[in-house]
Amino acid sequence: MTTWTDLSATRPITLSGDSGIDRAAHHRLDEAWLAAAWSHPSTRVFVVSGGQVLVDDTPDGRTELVMTPAFEAPVTETHRYFLGQDADGIAYFALQKDTLPGRMDQSARPAGLREAGPLLSPRDAGLLVHAVALENWQRLHRFCSRCGERTVVAAAGHIRRCPACGAEHYPRTDPAVIMLVTDMADRALLGRQMHWPEGRFSTLAGFVEPGESIEQAVRREVAEETGVTVGDVEYVASQPWPFPSSLMLGFMARATSEEIRVDGEEIHEARWFSREELTAAFASGEVLPPTGISIAARLLELWYGEPLPQGR
């Protein structure tokens, strides 16, 4: 039997594929190895600042991270993140800085993960999402959650240690569920959040609560937001979503009821769409085609059965 996971593999999800980078976690505590890797001429370094990096266009029309050898990089020892090595043994580091370096040429430009993610190679997108996730975690976890003391960075950016009580703090990832709910007639349930522009509809989503399984979270979020009850829940794929620290877990979910009662808080409006209705709504402009890199568009596309019109 073909599963949704099988189907999703036919088109890679941005930020979710194999980047070709081995994170090589066993080197993170090896200061001598890190120092040697840092000073090696093949090593590549890029600066991350507030979720932004410099990207540049190549002569053959691709977009890539602006990376330099370490000796050209503006060093700040404690904000150096070791991201891993590629198959050729080249080591990659990100430097967290308060500002991006000056642009080296005209076409280099600042960009965040949302803009650059779909343009970059899987390697560069993987390096970027790792660096941005670490930067966000570092920014929000400067103090010990046990005793309140200021913590210091260790393990090449992957641990924060408390000098007062000895606690070690590791990067946190918040699981979130995102689901395309379909009914017995194979219509899709799409919702519009309060702050979204008119016409923008998407899959439902929400955070997993303490003491809850992800399947329970899918059913609870759908019920809370739309009043629809869900039976079968099938996992499809996941996507790192460091805005600031989520992991999106994508599902197909089967409704066991149809009546919609939106919560009026998170979800302003929710509707069932057949494929024909959604096609017509895209064509008329009543529903805006999805934009961006989120797995939401991919879940919708899996159900739709063909590429969706591209939003702007």
Binding site for Zn ion (CB under 5 A): 144, 146-147, 149, 162, 164-165, 167
* Sign of CA pseudo-dihedral 288, 195, 114, 84: negative
Q: Which tokens is 65 given? A: 């991270």
We find the least distance from the C-beta atom of residue 147 to Zn ion, in angstroms, to be 3
We find the least distance from the C-beta atom of residue 142 to Zn ion, in angstroms, to be 12
Bond before 244 cis per omega within 30 degrees: yes
We find the least distance from the C-beta atom of residue 150 to Zn ion, in angstroms, to be 9
- Which residues, 6 or more positions from 132, have their beta carbon under 8 angstroms from its beta carbon? 48, 51, 112, 113, 242
Residue closer to Zn ion (CB basis): 149 or 174 = 149
We find the least distance from the C-beta atom of residue 29 to Zn ion, in angstroms, to be 20
Residue closer to Zn ion (CB basis): 103 or 146 = 146
Residue closer to Zn ion (CB basis): 159 or 167 = 167
- 80 touches 32 (CB < 8 A): no
Residue closer to Zn ion (CB basis): 148 or 309 = 148
We find the least distance from the C-beta atom of residue 153 to Zn ion, in angstroms, to be 14
* Sign of CA pseudo-dihedral 3, 247, 124, 56: positive
- Which residues, 6 or more positions from 6, have their beta carbon under 8 angstroms from its beta carbon? none
Residue closer to Zn ion (CB basis): 142 or 146 = 146
